[in-house]
Amino acid sequence: MSAQPGRLGVVDDDPLLLDQLTWALKGRFELFKGADAAQGLALAEHDPDVFLLDLRLPPSNEAEEGLKLVAELHQRRPEASIVVMTGEADRRLAQRAVELGAFDVFRKPFDTAELVLVLTRALERRRLVGENRALREEMLKKRSFGGLVGASAGMRALFSAIGKVAPSDATVLVYGESGTGKELVAEAIHRGSRRAHGPFVVVNSSALPESLAESELFGHERGAFTGAVAARSGRFEMAHRGTLFLDEVATLSPAVQAKLLRVLERREFERVGGSKTISVDIRLIAATNEDLKERAAKGEFREDLYYRLSTVVLTIPPLRERREDLPLLVEHFAGDAARRHGRPAKSFSPEALAVLGTHPFRGNVRELGHLVEMLTLMVEDDVILPAHLPGAVGAPEPPGTAGALPDGLPLAAAVARYEEDLLRRAIEKAGGVKARAAAALGLDANQMKYLCRKYRL
């Protein structure tokens, strides 16, 4: 064993056994003790490397009490090793303990040398898991840039281009299909610039009503139009000494395009209904999923504005052109979803990854992220298999059905159908007790209520 002692959480209601363990493991482990299931669960706050627990624990003194504790500890501390000690002769209990997350099970009464050996192996497993996680995180850092993840040639070229353009103040035009991560690219440029400590202001141009777009961008004075009861700053003023990210720039009206061109040329403008000239110091990053050069050639977008915006052009490859990045992206999204929802991170089998590799992912990385999050929330198993994937994922598209799946459902609808079916089966398996079904699915009460309302269950 390493000279560094491990942390051991012991749960048993026999004080003599606890004393014996304290003596036997002195110098090898730092011990944290609990006498019942509730105290055992509280030991998770000490973040032990290894848990050692009996199955028959107060308050019920039934084996189910210990099995439940195994499951809860595995969920709260998935990297810890759980060792179960039991006097039960029933092998099915040992099997269930392992299925719920136990690393090893051994019978009472135990030999001290045997116990030390088992706990040493458990500690080594915990340290290997930690080292592997740290190694994966380090590798992921090397294959990521400002929230973007990828090791493909296209993504490496993008990372290099971002690194070159970020320190400058050049206007950047980002091309990319919906869901490829255009805002992440803009954020990475901002963080790598001298404006990193200034504001990063995001505007989704397509969400702005044409009648309000000019006011939203440039602000307005009191009484400029009906409802303008007070003067208001626009997004350009908010982004002063920072970066303004203008997404879906192709949707701006000709009038707003003209005013935008003036701001880029002079770095000044007037609010709607105002006459005072306001100067701003901003860097503009624009993004679109349309071919602006082609639109400008057709007279559908101001040509002079296009050339102002395209000082530097960056293109994000769609997911279908970088399928070798799928395993990295899946691991990234699985870890992110696990952290945000307090769940163990799911791993994906090679077969599941192969199925994902055949899916068109028209929603690109955003669609993949939503899918991994749904699987993290709804699948009980630690490893995602092809059977866990919604039926629409990986299915070939019939000729002439661009964007549609074989059963006529887009991915969102297919995922919803899968989610509803999973809920129904869990409730049925729990004998109609929704609280029990929620526990089996790893959902809290509010999540369960929301999903039951959503699907009228």
DSSP string, 316-336: PPPGGG-GGGHHHHHHHHHHH
Same domain flag for 82 and 191: no
Q: Strand, coil or helix: what is 206? A: helix
Last residue of a domain, one of 298, 317, 336: 317
> Given the DSSP bridges, would you call strands 104-107 and 268-270 parallel, antiparallel or unpaired?
unpaired
How many distinct structural domains can be found in the chain? 3
Nearest to 343 by CA among 353, 352, 334, 356: 334
pTM value surpassing 0.75:
no
> In sequence order, what DSSP letters do the residues of 226-266 get, joined into one string?
TT--S-B--HHHHTTTEEEEEETGGGS-HHHHHHHHHHHHH
Structure tokens at 173: 């035009």
Whether 224 and 263 have beta carbons less than 8 Å apart is answered as no
CB 391 within 8 A of CB 407: yes
In a domain, 402, yes or no: yes
330 and 415 share a domain? yes
Task: Please tell me the chain's helix, strand, coil percentages from 3-state DSSP, rounded to the nearest 5.
Answer: 50, 15, 35
Do 120 and 187 belong together in one domain?
Answer: no
Last residue of a domain, one of 268, 300, 317: 317
Shared domain check, 303 and 381: no
CA distances from 401 to 1, 11, 363, 371 (A): 61, 59, 16, 22
Domain of 78, in residue numbers: 6-140
Do 228 and 220 meet the contact criterion of CB atoms below 8 Å apart? yes
Q: 38-75 as b/e, with b when 16 or more CB fall inside 10 Å?
A: ebbbebbeeebbbbbbbbbbeeeeebebbbbbbbbbbe
How much is the pLDDT for 446?
A: 67
Interstrand relation of 81-86 and 347-348 (parallel, antiparallel or unpaired): unpaired
Among 28, 39, 113, 103, smallest CA distance to 10 is for: 39
Rounded Cα–Cα distance for residues 313 and 306 (Å):
11
pLDDT of residue 408: 47
Task: Based on the fold, state whether residues 102 and 54 are members of the same structural domain.
Answer: yes
Same domain, 170 and 311: yes
Whole-number Å distance between alpha carbons of 24 and 33: 14
Classified as helix, coil or strand, 444 is coil
Residues 286 and 357 occupy one common structural domain: no
Cα–Cα distance, 232 to 289 (Å, whole number): 30
**Would you state the pLDDT for residue 1?**
41
Same domain? For 313 and 180 the reply is yes
Structure tokens at 381: 């198993």
Return the H-helix or E-strand segment holding 29: strand 29-34
Distance CA 225, CA 232 (A): 12
Tally of CA atoms within 13 A in the half-sphere of 234 that contains its CB: 28
Give the per-residue pLDDT at 102: 92
Chain centroid offset of residue 198 CA: 26
The single-letter DSSP state of residue 408 is S
Residue 119: both structure tokens together: 């706990």
Please give the torsion angle defined by the CA atoms of residues 277, 279, 283 and 289, in that order, rounded to the nearest 10 degrees.
-10
pLDDT tens string, the chain, 457 residues long: the values are: 445 789 999 999 988 888 888 888 888 899 999 999 999 999 999 999 999 999 999 999 999 999 999 999 988 888 899 999 888 777 888 889 998 989 999 888 778 888 888 999 999 888 887 776 775 566 555 576 777 899 899 998 999 899 899 999 999 999 999 899 999 999 999 998 989 999 999 999 888 877 788 888 998 888 777 777 788 888 999 999 999 999 999 999 998 999 999 999 988 988 888 888 899 999 999 999 999 999 999 999 999 999 999 999 999 999 999 999 999 999 999 999 999 998 888 999 999 999 999 998 988 999 999 999 999 998 888 899 999 998 767 655 444 434 434 444 555 566 667 777 788 888 878 777 888 888 777 777 767 776 777 777 7
Q: What is the CATH number of the domain that holds 231?
A: 3.40.50.300
DSSP H or E stretch at residue 39: helix 37-42
Q: Where are the alpha helices (DSSP H) in 267-349?
A: 292-297, 303-309, 326-341
Tokens of 129: 């898991």
User: How far apart are the C-alpha atoms of 79 and 133, rounded to whole Å?
Assistant: 9
Separation of alpha carbons 343 and 74, rounded Å: 10
In a domain, 1, yes or no: no
What pLDDT is stored for residue 141 in this prediction? 59
Both 439 and 341 in one domain: the answer is yes
User: Residue 390: inside a domain, yes or no?
Assistant: yes
Residues 344 and 385 placed together within one structural domain of the fold: yes
The verdict on 308 and 351 lying in the same domain is no
Calculate the alpha carbon distances from 81 to 108, 123, 128, 277, 391 in Å. 19, 7, 11, 66, 35
- Assess whether 114 and 72 both reside in one domain: yes
Work out whether strand 144-145 and strand 148-149 pair parallel, antiparallel, or are unpaired: antiparallel
pLDDT of residue 415: 66
